[in-house]
Chain A
Amino acid sequence: MAMTLAEKIFSSHLRDEPFPGAKVLNIDVVLCHEITTPIAINDLVARGKDRVFDTSRIKVVIDHVTPSKDTKTATQAKILRDWARRHKIKDFFDIGRNGVCHAIFPEKGFIRPGNTVIMGDSHTCTHGAFGAFAAGVGTTDLEVGILKGVCGFRQPETIRVNINGRMPEAVSAKDVILKVIKTLTVNGATDCVIEFRGEVVGAMSMEGRMTLCNMAIEAGGTSGVCMPDEVTVDYLWPFISADYKDKAAALEDFRKWSSDDGCNYKKVIDIDVTNMEPQVTVGYKPDQVKDVSDVAGTPVDQVYIGSCTNGRIEDLREAASYLKGRVISPMVRGILSPATPDVFKQADAEGIIKIFMDAGFCVTNPTCGACLGMSNGVLAPDEVCASTTNRNFNGRMGKGGMVHLMSPAVAAVTAIDGRIADPRKFRKEKI
């Protein structure tokens, strides 16, 4: 029978079906950070079950508040650090080597096609870009994942989104996913996997595909997924070259993690990007999306470029190409947070960090930072932030603050203008 990628992963990882439709899956990779894991660790200790199912399948990072800002966050980091050491978890990324979870874990090659991945973080759906089933879960699911290597789900249906046409100048993966969320609405994909297909996705880098999958949760999706292809093989090649005789062999192996022709979709949506404008959110829900020309001129107080959505090297290159040789508005605080140390080093080597700093940006260490208003870059009441992050919820970046989600290109020109601006009206420089 023709199957979707999600169905193939579910059937190959099925540990138990305790009741019809309830699937308990074996989990390949359990990811952990310092905000949602410590309570799971404390509970395991309290239950006398301070064990992990497989040290090599657990990957750990301190990323949300780093460096720690106070005693409470230092304690969260310490609980996680002590636990990682106690269980000899090799892949533990502490300050100096840490970065935003959904950027650093893929960068290390931890996620492979066909994997099942969970993390106590809703943007875990990012990792579906590799042809994996990757779901954000709560602390209890995480705790059981750590202890037993299993997690329970309802069998999800799949919504296929075909993205075709020619990508216009200044339109990026972020604009495409905002358009998809607008089309699906904030709960249009609840209990579903969103499968991103079409020539635009095929031509996208892994970075772009991660941006797409990252925001699947904003339409309620359990995971985003892209079909593994040559781009996936190229990205993972440094980590898999010992396992395959050549890239063609890897591709053939990866291709089994694709949806079959004739498989069953809940819904198929077609999006043509040819005449698309850059997209910007308004209001407090990520499906409240408008063309940039409809919101251009809105004054902002802060511009934030970073996060698991748009803090990767391509995002920084795109923003820098608008910022080069320019200075941001004196009415704006510009903050750049490269998502990982490798992104930071690469940006430095390419002169991008200097471009940002010459333009008047503050450059922070890799961290989740301003995105969720729990460490740096918090907004004051009534302030407005133009942000490359993923959520515009009421109070998300600080009580009473307003967030407009947008691409790195729109964010960069908005910083220059001091008001939401249209990148198509700015000249790009070669960097």
Chain B
Amino acid sequence: MKTFGGKALFLDRADINTDEIIPAKYLTENSKEALKPHMLEDLKLEGFDPNDQTVRESKVVVARSNFGCGSSREHAPWVFEVNDINVVIASGFARIFRQNMFNCGMLALELSEADIDGLFAYKGAGASIAVDFDNDKLTVESGKGGKTFSYHIAEFDRALVKAGGWVEFADAKY
């Protein structure tokens, strides 16, 4: 199983699409590692710089609704994976992106809009998020304190993460 949690990157926008996460011109690469420098390169978000040190050090992405909409490209989870980001927390996901995350043994965690607001209260305070996968809880912490949230994960998705991904799960079973 992958490790989950660390410094949080807050992307305060809904409908962040996979073209913004990894533009199509990089889909000519045949290795995941080659995608690494281009994470979130085309993200349209006021004040966001994809090359900023805090972006590069992040381990968890927090965003609003419909995260990962658009193209089916698994390059979107992969570009996070090769940058050591294995968790995205949002108030909603596009189906294919969400499935791709779990298929890769990564976490796409859905929280209510109120809880996402609660997480965003820690934006800009050097916040870290720890995921307690066995107990379905995540804790955000910064200089100004901390807070714990519960999340729900489908049993199938949990099994995929534990197996290390869909290839491993399916190969053992079908």
Which residues does A use to contact B, with CB under 8 Å?
15-16, 18-22, 24, 35-36, 38-39, 42-43, 47, 49, 64-65, 70, 72-73, 75-76, 79, 120-122, 124, 136-141, 143-144, 147-148, 150, 152, 154, 186-187, 190-191, 220, 222, 284-285, 372-374, 391, 393-396, 399
- Smallest Cβ-Cβ distance to A399: which chain B residue: B42
How far, in angstroms, from A141 to B77 measured CA to CA in the complex? 13
Beta-carbon contact of B28 and A139 below 8 Å = no
Cβ A220 vs Cβ B69 within 8 A: yes
Which residues of B sit under 8 angstroms from A373, Cβ to Cβ? 23-25
- CB–CB A395/B19 < 8 A: yes
For chain B, give the interface size range. Answer: 35 or more
Whether a CB of chain A sits under 8 angstroms from the CB of B92 is: yes
A398–chain B nearest beta-carbon distance, Å: 9
Cβ-defined contact, A79 with B96, below 8 A: no
Q: Which chain A residues border B42 with CB–CB below 8 Å?
A: 394-395, 399
Measured CA separation A322–B23 after assembly (Å): 34
Residues in A whose Cβ lies below 8 Å from that of B53: none
Whether A49 touches B23, Cβ cut-off 8 Å, given contacts A21-B154, A140-B104, A187-B92, is no
- CB-CB under 8 A for A191 and B95, given A22-B156, A148-B170, A152-B156: yes
Which B124-174 residues sit within 8 Å CB-CB of chain A?
Answer: 154-156, 159, 165-167, 170-171, 173-174
A19-B155, A19-B156 given as contacts; is B92 within 8 A of A190 (CB)? Answer: yes
Give the docked Cα–Cα distance between A75 and B25 (Å).
15
A39 touches B20 (CB 8 A): no
Q: Give CA–CA (A124, B71) in the complex, Å.
A: 11
Write out the residue numbers on chain A whose beta carbons fall within 8 Å of the beta carbon of B104.
Answer: 140
Cβ–Cβ contact A150 & B72, under 8 A: no
* B100 → chain A closest CB, angstroms: 4
Of A16, A49, A395, the contact of B171 (CB 8 Å cutoff): A49
What 18 additional pairs, Cβ within 8 angstroms, besides A64-B27, A144-B166? A42-B30, A121-B72, A122-B72, A138-B100, A140-B167, A141-B99, A141-B100, A147-B170, A147-B171, A148-B170, A150-B170, A187-B94, A220-B95, A372-B19, A373-B23, A373-B24, A374-B28, A391-B70
B86 contacts partner chain A, Cβ-Cβ < 8 Å = no
Residue in B closest to A120 when the chains form the complex, CB atoms: B72
Q: What is the CA–CA distance of A42 and B31 in the complex, to the nearest angstrom? A: 9
- Return the contact of B30 from the options A79, A150, A393 (Cβ within 8 A): A79
B72-A136 in contact (CB<8A): yes
A122–B70 CB distance below 8 A: yes
Chain A, residue nearest B165 (CB): A140
Check B44–A394 contact: CB distance below 8 A: yes
- Beta-carbon contacts under 8 Å, B14-54 to A: 15, 17, 19-20, 23-25, 27-30, 32, 42, 44
Q: Within 8 Å of chain A (Cβ to Cβ): is B115?
A: no
Q: Does B65 contact A (CB under 8 A)?
A: yes
Q: A18-B156, A24-B174 are in contact. Are A73 and B167 (CB under 8 A)?
A: no
21 contacts between A and B (CB under 8 A): A16-B174, A35-B73, A72-B30, A120-B72, A120-B74, A122-B96, A138-B96, A138-B100, A140-B166, A140-B167, A144-B171, A147-B170, A152-B166, A186-B15, A187-B66, A187-B94, A220-B66, A222-B95, A374-B28, A391-B70, A393-B17
Q: Tell whether, in the assembled complex, residue A72 and residue B29 are in contact, meaning their CB atoms are under 8 Å apart.
A: yes
The yes or no answer to B58 lying at the interface (CB within 8 A) is: no
Q: In the bound complex, do residue A136 and residue B96 qualify as a contact, i.e. CB atoms below 8 Å apart?
A: yes
Instruction: Enumerate the 9 nearest inter-chain pairs by beta-carbon distance, A residue then B residue, closest first.
Output: A22-B156, A138-B74, A138-B100, A140-B103, A19-B155, A187-B66, A72-B28, A395-B42, A122-B72
B69 touches A186 (CB 8 A): yes
Question: How far does the Cβ of A315 sit from chain B's closest Cβ, in whole Å?
Answer: 22
Q: Chain B residue with minimal CB distance to A154?
A: B154
**Which residues in B have their C-beta under 8 angstroms from that of A399?**
23, 42
Q: Which residues of A sit under 8 angstroms from B29, Cβ to Cβ?
A: 72
- How far is A124 from B95 in the complex, measured between Cα atoms in Å? 14
CA distance A152 to B27 in the complex (A): 25
Please tell me if the beta carbons of B19 and A394 are within 8 angstroms of each other in the complex: yes
Closest A-chain residue to B101, C-beta based?
A: A138
> With A73-B28, A372-B24 as given contacts, are A187 and B155 in contact (CB-CB < 8 Å)?
no
Chain B positions within 8 Å of A372 at CB level: 19, 24, 71
